[in-house]
Structure 1
Amino acid sequence: MNTLDHFATPQLELLHRGKVRDSYRAPSGERLIVVTDRLSAFDSVLETPVAHKGAVLNGLAAFWFDKTRHIVPNHVISLPDPNVTLAHEAEPIRVEMVVRNYLTGSMLRGYQQGQRTFSGVTVPDGLTKHQQFPEPIVTPTTKEESDREITPENLVSEGWVSAELYEQMRVKALELFNFASEWMAGRGIILVDTKYEFGLFEGQLMLIDEIHTPDSSRFWSADDYARNPEAVEQMDKEYVRQWLIANKQDGKYPRALPPEVAAEATRRYLDIYERITGAPLPTGSETTGDVRTRLVGNLVRAGIMTDTELTNS
């Protein structure tokens, strides 16, 4: 199955290559974000890309950016290709605003070991696995080589952000989370937790990066949760994580996925896209064929690249 595991061109200045996204400087000065089909798990990029994953992430983020413009401005200018976003160049705020509504993940692991305070938020004794909190909580982390929990007070004292700006981010993060939670509830999906990243553009707070995607959020089926909360299965890349854990050898995770696991991961990404947006991801001629050729062709038509890339490739 055709995939986009990387994108490179001498025509555009490479700004950053992340685990999943490659960022370039567009000729107009804006940032061009290419969302690949690479999959990251346990702080490592797997050798096997997952077909359509990049288009799912890019399309879902665009869907949510559009739905939440009334809450906070975002960096999206246009989508010249299913895997590409042209975005405003905001100054990133090096803080992840993590919003949680259930006791799970790393927080559950800490709770089971006796921890009761997380990023300055204290939760009571007696909570059970996957239990819902009375209301969503914000547990910020720093964006460093290794992200760390940090209290809002320490974010300010360490110079990461001002108290006023943090409060603005906190309020907007909760508004975004509550809006999306209500939307997904109507589609049988629980938004368990997620992260938001913000930046400053022309002095104003702006939502950047991605929003409510399977890579930045945890989703559960509401029906599965109602049947057995503690055994509910995540509707995101947790499927791949669990396969890696089950096939760990000599303390090391596999570096590649068998075809059937990659295909199931694709199915799950496409399924969550359709369940959230109400429509399947377009997989006609615009998203099949050679992804890189299609991508370059779209960037040429958008005036971002010249056709020499096509003739020289």
Structure 2
Amino acid sequence: MNTLNHFDTPQLELLHRGKVRDSYRAPSGERLIVVTDRLSAFDSVLETPVAHKGAVLNGLAAFWFDKTQHIIPNHVISLLDPNVTLAKEAEPIRVEMVVRNYLTGSMWRGYQSGQRTFSGVTVPDGLTKHQKFPEPIVTPTTKEESDREITPENLVSEGWVSAELYEKMRVKSLELFNFASQWMAERGIILVDTKYEFGLLDGELILIDEIHTPDSSRFWSAEDYAKNLEGVEQIDKEYVRQWLIANKQNGQYPRALTPEVSAEATRRYLDIYERITGAPLPAANDTATGGDVQARLIGNLVQAGIMQKA
């Protein structure tokens, strides 16, 4: 199955190559974001790309950016290809706003070891794995080489944001989370936790990066959670993380996925896209270029006037 692992072109200036996204300068001066099929887990990019993953992330983010414009403006100008977004150039705020509604993941691991305060939020003793909080909580982290928990007060004192800006980000994060939680609940999905990233455009706070995707969020099936609270299975990329943990050898995670695990990861990404949007991923049935993602992408960028024919 054809995948987009890397996209390189001498026609465009490379601004940043991330774990999953590559950013280029468009001729208009705007930012061109190419979402690849690379998969990152445990701070490392695996050698095996996952087919359709980039289109799922890009498509779901676009879906949610459109649905949440009434809450906060965002950086999207248009989608030029299932894997490509043309975006406004904003000044990124180096803070991740993590919103949690259940005790799970890294927070649960910390809780098990005795931690009770997370990014300045204190939770009580006696909680159980996957227990729902009375209200969603915000646990910000810094965006550094290794993200770290930090209190709102320290974000301000260390100069990451002003107190006023942090409060705007906190309020908008909760509004976004509550809106998406209700949307997904109506479709049998629990939004467990997620992260939001913001930027400033002409002094205005906007939403950037991605929103409510399987890479930035945890999802559970509401039906599964009701049946098996502590054993509920995540319907996101946690499947791959758990496979890596189960196959760890000599303290090292595998660098590549087996064909079977890669195919199952693809199935799960496509499934969550359809469950959220109500329609299958259009790019999954693209036959115009014989399934050649890079050829389709270049053709669409040429058509949009971003690139010239080679």
- Same fold (TM > 0.5): yes
Which of these residues, 284, 287, 290, is aligned with residue 286 of structure 2? Answer: 284
* 2:298 alignment partner AA: V
Matched, 1:196 2:196: yes
1:46 matched residue in structure 2 = 46
Residue ranges of structure 1 left out of the alignment (5+ in a row): 309-313
**What is the Cα-based RMSD across aligned positions, in Å?**
0.8
Pair 108,203 (structure 1): closer, same or farther in 2 beyond 3 Å:
same
Residue ranges of structure 2 left out of the alignment (5+ in a row): none
Structure-2 separation of matches of 1:258 and 1:150: 37
**Contact 1:101 1:193 survives alignment (8 Å):** yes
Structure-2 separation of matches of 1:239 and 1:8: 30
Counting matched residue pairs gives 308
**Contact 1:68 1:176 survives alignment (8 Å):** yes
* 2:5 alignment partner AA: D
Deviation at 1:287, TM superposition (A): 7.9
**Contact 1:189 1:219 survives alignment (8 Å):** yes
Structure-2 separation of matches of 1:306 and 1:145: 36
Task: Report sequence identity in percent.
Answer: 88
Secondary structure in structure 1 of the residue aligned to 2:243: helix
Deviation at 1:135, TM superposition (A): 0.3
**Contact 1:98 1:193 survives alignment (8 Å):** yes
Alignment of structure 1 residues 123-162 onto 2, 5 Å: 123-162=123-162
Pair 278,286 (structure 1): closer, same or farther in 2 beyond 3 Å:
farther
Query: Runs ≥4 in structure 1, deviation > 6 angstroms?
Result: none
Secondary structure in structure 2 of the residue aligned to 1:229: coil
Structure-1 separation of matches of 2:106 and 2:249: 23
**TM-score, L = length of structure 1:** 0.97
**Contact 1:296 1:305 survives alignment (8 Å):** yes
* 2:221 alignment partner AA: S
Deviation at 1:269, TM superposition (A): 0.1
Structure-2 separation of matches of 1:170 and 1:100: 12
1:311 matched residue in structure 2 = none
1:298 matched residue in structure 2 = 300
2:90 matched residue in structure 1 = 90
Structure-2 separation of matches of 1:44 and 1:133: 31
**Contact 1:82 1:287 survives alignment (8 Å):** no
1:165 matched residue in structure 2 = 165
Matched, 1:60 2:55: no
Secondary structure in structure 2 of the residue aligned to 1:167: helix
Secondary structure in structure 1 of the residue aligned to 2:179: helix
Secondary structure in structure 2 of the residue aligned to 1:96: strand
Structure-1 separation of matches of 2:251 and 2:140: 31
**Contact 1:2 1:288 survives alignment (8 Å):** no
* 1:33 alignment partner AA: I
Alignment of structure 1 residues 257-272 onto 2, 5 Å: 257-272=257-272
Pair 93,156 (structure 1): closer, same or farther in 2 beyond 3 Å:
same
